[in-house]
Amino acid sequence: MTSTRHKWGEKARFAHKTERQCSRCDMVKVGRREAEGGRDCYWDEFWRDEERIYCEATPPCDARREAVAA
């Protein structure tokens, strides 16, 4: 079984972060930005079902919504 790529929706912009949701699996990609030591730091976080997924790279899309619709 090969993994499907995420299909990220429009960005929701906030003061120090952006959020995008995958329309296939409901994963949320959060881009965070903070000033640290006089420079901007940026990192991505991934969330699903209100739980953070700790990972080095983007977790695979499991396409749960499309599987239910089929």
Residue 49, in any domain of the structure: yes
Domain presence at residue 4: no
pLDDT-derived band at 1, boundaries 50, 70, 90: very low
Q: Record the pTM.
A: 0.78
In a domain, 7, yes or no: no
Residue 16 forms part of a structural domain: yes
Average pLDDT over all residues of the chain: 87
pLDDT score at 40: 85
Let me know if residue 1 belongs to a domain: no
Give the mean model confidence (pLDDT) for residues 44-67. Answer: 87
CA angle 66, 64, 23 (to 5 degrees): 65
Provide the domain limits for residue 39. 12-69
For residue 60, give Cα distances in angstroms to 3, 10, 22, 51: 6, 19, 11, 16
Question: For the chain, how many structural domains are there in total?
Answer: 1
The number of CA neighbours under 13 Å toward the Cβ of 34 is 5
